[in-house]
Structure 1
């Protein structure tokens, strides 16, 4: 047992191992949406009728000029919840939800 002000060794180990947690930003949500769909920036931009350069800029931190229209198209084409894409929030649980755009779906034989 530790006295007040002292830390348990295991708590310190956990804190040191924790690592970084990604920010809940539009660039990170765009990247995650694209990865869930299993597509490259070029493929995502083409599917949404958008320019590859613009998409790259958005993933690098720029904000689309017509934010509501652009995020609506992206959400529809990549099968992503539009409110989550626009505003962020909690992610699905560990099992998540199946996404239409995945090119290779995990099976019971998949080794992670």
Structure 2
């Protein structure tokens, strides 16, 4: 399953939902779900809602990285909950140059979860290549 559309369809079917049921649970139209699944709607601006309703890892749904299954919160298992947990663990401070800590912490928990899942997946991928 290389495409978002395939992963979405697969997860929906695994959860025993039809397109209309998934749409209602996410606050979307059935047409939006259909467009995501047939690939005509590429940008999944509703990714977090879809991942939470389907109880899948948002990074898996978006990029095919990490495990499919999410924990009971609907997000991945590795979660940083407080800003200072990061800052205390980094002797040199904030690790990113393209985004400030203020911009990052202004994002919702779900949005930060997607970023963290992506960084975890990339890190694991790079470690396997060594």
- TM-score range (shorter-chain normalised) is 0.5 to 0.7
User: Is 1:87 matched with 2:63?
Assistant: yes
Structure 1 unaligned segments of length 5 or more: list them: 1-22, 101-112
Q: Looking at CA atoms only, which structure, 1 or 2, has the larger radius of gyration?
A: 1
Structure 2 unaligned segments of length 5 or more: list them: 73-130
Tell me if the contact between 1:24 and 1:88 (Cα under 8 Å) persists in the aligned partners: yes
Distance 2:7 2:58 in 1: 11
User: Is 1:74 matched with 2:50?
Assistant: yes
User: Is 1:31 matched with 2:31?
Assistant: no
Kindly tell me: are residues 87 and 78 of structure 1, through their superposed partners in 2, closer, same or farther at Cα, counting changes over 3 Å? same
Tell me if the contact between 1:29 and 1:85 (Cα under 8 Å) persists in the aligned partners: yes
The C-alpha deviation readout for 1:11-60, integer Å capped at 9, x for no partner, is xxxxxxxxxxxx41011011011011111011011111110011101100
* Structure holding more helix per residue: 2
- Matched residues, number: 72
Q: Secondary structure at the match of 1:34?
A: helix
Residue 32 of structure 2 corresponds to 54
Tell me if the contact between 2:8 and 2:37 (Cα under 8 Å) persists in the aligned partners: yes
Residue 19 of structure 2 corresponds to 41
Tell me if the contact between 2:56 and 2:70 (Cα under 8 Å) persists in the aligned partners: no
User: CA RMSD for the aligned pairs?
Assistant: 2.4
